[in-house]
Structure 1
Amino acid sequence: MAGAYKTPGVYIVEKNAFPNSVVEVATAVPAFIGYTEKADNKGTSLADKPWRITSMSEFHEYYGYRPKDLFDITDLPAKEEGKPTPVSDFKIGKSEYVLAEKDPRYFLYYSMMLFFKNGGGACYIVSVGTYGQSIEKPKLAGGIDKLLKEQEPTMVVIPDAVSLAEADCIALQQASLMHCGSQMKNRFSILDVYNGYRDRKDPAAGDCIAKFRNALGTNFLNFGAAYYPWIDTSIVQTSDLDYNNLTDVAKFKEILTAEVNQSPLAQDKKDSILAVIAKVGVEGDPSKPDYLSHEELHKTLFVVSPGYGNILLTIKKKLNLLPPSGAMAGIYTLVDNSRGVWKAPANVSLNEVVAPAVNVTHDEQEDLNVTTSGKSINAIRPFIGEGTLVWGARTLDGNSLDWRYINVRRTMIMLEESVRLASKAFVFEPNVSGTWVTMKSMISNFLNGIWKRGGLAGASPEDAFSVHVGLGETMTPEDILEGIMRITVLVALSRPAEFIEITFQQQMQKS
């Protein structure tokens, strides 16, 4: 300023020619919470610490590999009066058997595989424990609290929640919704339906959807979405498994021995196969010519014993049954990056998915999508010639005209967070018309760019949005005396064409 000049000379004064701009925040950065093999960064512990990764190779580096899933083999129990008929997992000869997973099922690793296979990118991992530990609600809930200080995550996914007891799973999902809708207000929760691999008419477990809706409550439903059913995937391959996935070696050898003895093979061939089976679980002498390493023994058993192949296929099928939240986080990321957050994450095929665990029909989806309780559940359905598609785009607040659709809720989160962060530069600036005009121009320019990309509905910018600020318009003299600047932003968000009605009508012949 001229009053500051006291020595004669030439002074250069630079002035900014352009106003501040709003930078669009990232919309597809999920945070996964669960159990891992390890949590280590070259000697530094990553336990209970949100850590950003961008690929599965980085996950392997910091958090290790898949869990060692163990299974018990038992004979098929006899039918009891008044109870459902037991179902066997596999059959060898005339005998039927059941395979039951022994330890808690850790879903995080497999969900990460699904996430990256379906278009996932940058994400955060919160490891709350390691394999071998019991899955506990307080630990997983503590993982949610660790995200309070992280600004970047925009989604919360907890695949291991479904390994808890049903009441604990629901309580954890309620905590996730509260974190997104009350504490942070800038992220979205993707939920799995407990026992979502079962049919709704399953007599043993009851209606899993009704139980989910009844227990979830009514708070912050527009900050979350749920998907049904679970999905049969191809993440786990037979080559990833062997007899070390079984807990009872003696029972395993007994089953294969019975299979060989019942086979029509010549006795000398039976004896050679039985000799191979006898080596399972017994450490041999590497110097002897008949010694078989673990890998050689596994390959030999797979060739000579059909029963062994059946056991591994059954284990593979059970491990490939996964909750869909990890895949959906990948779909959200894929759609956001290719079309924008304003495009509904639906009518998109799922990769590495063989089929849904339950085939939901057109009529059965009616109650999932539209219900009196308003808690819409998005269906995952198979379509001939198209594969497995996500066939729903509703939040859990399905009765709300404002927040019925996932893309509407997430688009508003993006707009609010982008403008909020850009507006921090004007905190403590003079609350006068010059500041108001600058902020109005900044927000309008940002929204105009979103409209041009198809994020807002309207034939012109005036139809798509409007920004209001000023004394007598959004503020009173008392507001200014109290240091409050009020800005009102109106936006017309695009909504998906969920129902398309095409009318056909006959007309009179004209010639």
Structure 2
Amino acid sequence: MKTPGVYIVEKNAFPNSVIEVATAVPAFIGYTEKAMHGAKSLINRPMRISAMAEFQHYFGLAPTPLFGLTEAAAADDNTVSVAAKSYQLSHDSGKNLLYYAMMLFYQNGGGPCYIVSVGSYTDEVTGEKLMAGIDLLIKEQEPTILVIPEAVLLTEDDCIAVQQAALAHCGGKMRNRVAILDIWQGYKPRQHPAGDCIDNFRDKLGINYLDFATAYYPWLNTSIVQQHELSYQNLAPAELLQQLLKQERNLPDELPKLDDNASAADQAAQLKLQQQLEAIGEISADWSKLDSAERVAKQMLLHKSLKAISPLYGQLLGQMRAMINLLPPAAAMAGIYTMVDNTRGVWKAPANVSLSAVVSPAVTISHEEQEDLNVSTQGKSVNAIRSFAGEGTLVWGARTLDGNSPDWRYINVRRTMIMLEQSIRLGTKAYVFENNNASTWATVKNVIGNFLSGIWQRGGLAGASPEDAFSVSVGLGETMTSNDILEGILRVRVMVALIRPAEFIEISFQQQMQKS
């Protein structure tokens, strides 16, 4: 100060604070109808969205499923029978799952997320492209959950390779996110003649980074696709469908001629047969010359006519819908994680929660059958999704794949620790290059302590008092040596008591003597 006068000097009264990072921002990798942001391609470019409408705007709509009909050797629950012959439906094309997974995610409470489109519906689903999509997320710090729904479309070995890459990404490279894995062919019961899908999953997955992943079984029968979204246009070949419908209705290829003296009843029956034949014949009609509105109207009218005259047609539509709606559960669980985090906090186990847009689990699991899923000698716990009378379909497990680890057995413990680590890391960046002295140590200790105290007050840490819930240590002779200070290292030790779920509740009963 060189000139006499009054000078005002402002001093900060409060240090920087630690802000809690977002805990439920999934990243989905897969194939989409398109990937455009205006004139800019979004292929292999992670894009953040916050609603299903945004997904449809940037990445398009659902794939067009095409089913084939082939003669089957024997009848079962998945065949239709006509004229003593059985026919099998097969899902030939339009199998991509990402669009339906996003629908399931938002139905179960999903919010902001990242989409990595690695190709279009015309491209073959390959493990190389999906793994390349995982690598694209290395530069993105916000995602906290990784989901790859279309890995189950690959062969079993390729699916496992993609899942191992997801584990290495979450637990090896980033360490700030977890992977939700789907069981390959998890719609089959464990007693299936082709083999136990759970044992195969456990045997092939390996043992690396299991505490950064969780898996759920079985797949889900959902209500994402409605029956009105399917029609005869999703069935091929049209000629075989026409033949089956004629056989079902006992219709001739050509109408017999009536005598001039035919009764009114015969004429009415003849007219009915003619209408049915005309409707079935229109299945293979070429309406390309009509404008789009008129074409859609005619196709809708034909669809309604076929439903009215043919129970077989309705049965085929029902089976097609059931096959499309059989979805792996990872996307639904990503939505559950988001919903539970927003309503209860990341420290609440995402279990004992009902699933929306889900009719039932694909496999019914009993109490005894869940024992091996939950507690395994290998330690690879798989969480069950079960149906309970009067309660619907519930998530009935909250373990990571590292089920034998007392530290990281529960997914909410791992995700809470990730949140604390990342929040404190970002909050203390303000003190990089500050003086490594007692003043800075006290400030850092105070900043971290205030943050953890707030988490404890919200119920995120265990303990009757802050002292029981956490401790923060920093200082020369306590966490650092003189040599650490010379090398510019400031060491802070944070200990937290994380909340674990009451997974097993034991209530003991015993008789007592009569007292009155």
Matched, 1:450 2:455: yes
**Separation in 1 of the partners of 2:81 and 2:100?**
28
Correspondences of 1:8-23 after superposition (within 5 Å): 8-23=4-19
Q: What is the total number of aligned residue pairs between the two structures?
A: 498
Deviations 1:322-351 (A, max 9, x none): 000010000000000000000000000000
Counterpart for residue 260 of structure 1: 249
Contact 1:48 1:146 survives alignment (8 Å):
yes
Q: 5+ residue gaps in structure 1?
A: 79-84
C-alpha RMSD over aligned residues: 1.9
**Separation in 2 of the partners of 1:44 and 1:357?**
40
Counterpart for residue 188 of structure 1: 178
**Separation in 1 of the partners of 2:392 and 2:76?**
32
**Separation in 2 of the partners of 1:262 and 1:461?**
81
**Separation in 2 of the partners of 1:445 and 1:213?**
42
Counterpart for residue 256 of structure 2: none
**Separation in 1 of the partners of 2:203 and 2:326?**
25
**Separation in 2 of the partners of 1:445 and 1:37?**
48
Correspondences of 1:84-483 after superposition (within 5 Å): 88-103=78-93, 105-203=95-193, 205-261=194-250, 266-283=269-286, 293-483=298-488
Contact 2:183 2:197 survives alignment (8 Å):
yes
**Separation in 2 of the partners of 1:97 and 1:163?**
24
Counterpart for residue 484 of structure 1: 489
Deviations 1:450-504 (A, max 9, x none): 0000000000000000000000000000111111111000000010000000000
**Separation in 1 of the partners of 2:452 and 2:323?**
48
User: SS at 2:461's partner residue?
Assistant: coil
Shift of 1:382: 0.2
Contact 1:104 1:134 survives alignment (8 Å):
no
Contact 1:77 1:86 survives alignment (8 Å):
no
Worse-superposed segment, 297-306 or 110-119: 297-306
Counterpart for residue 64 of structure 2: 68
User: SS at 1:280's partner residue?
Assistant: helix
**Separation in 2 of the partners of 1:187 and 1:195?**
25
Which AA in structure 1 matches 2:93? D
Tell me the TM-score normalized by structure 1: 0.95
Shift of 1:268: 3.9
**Separation in 2 of the partners of 1:282 and 1:352?**
36
Tell me the TM-score normalized by structure 2: 0.94
**Separation in 2 of the partners of 1:87 and 1:510?**
61
Q: 5+ residue gaps in structure 2?
A: 253-267
Which AA in structure 2 matches 1:355? S
Contact 2:78 2:319 survives alignment (8 Å):
no
Counterpart for residue 47 of structure 1: 43
Deviations 1:62-115 (A, max 9, x none): 11111001111011125xxxxxx8664223453321011112621111110010
Worse-superposed segment, 136-145 or 275-284: 275-284
Which AA in structure 2 matches 1:96? S
**Separation in 1 of the partners of 2:77 and 2:232?**
23
**Separation in 1 of the partners of 2:361 and 2:269?**
44
Deviations 1:226-285 (A, max 9, x none): 00000000011111001111131111111111112179x945422320111111122268
Contact 1:104 1:135 survives alignment (8 Å):
no
**Separation in 1 of the partners of 2:210 and 2:141?**
22
Deviations 1:187-235 (A, max 9, x none): 01000000000000000x2100000000000000000000000000001
User: SS at 2:407's partner residue?
Assistant: coil
**Separation in 2 of the partners of 1:443 and 1:484?**
18
**Separation in 1 of the partners of 2:35 and 2:135?**
18
Contact 1:90 1:314 survives alignment (8 Å):
no
**Separation in 1 of the partners of 2:452 and 2:200?**
42
Contact 2:138 2:174 survives alignment (8 Å):
yes
Contact 2:349 2:412 survives alignment (8 Å):
yes
Shift of 1:182: 1.0
Give 2:30's match in structure 1, choosing from 18, 26, 34: 34
- Identity among equivalent pairs (%): 61
Which AA in structure 1 matches 2:245? L
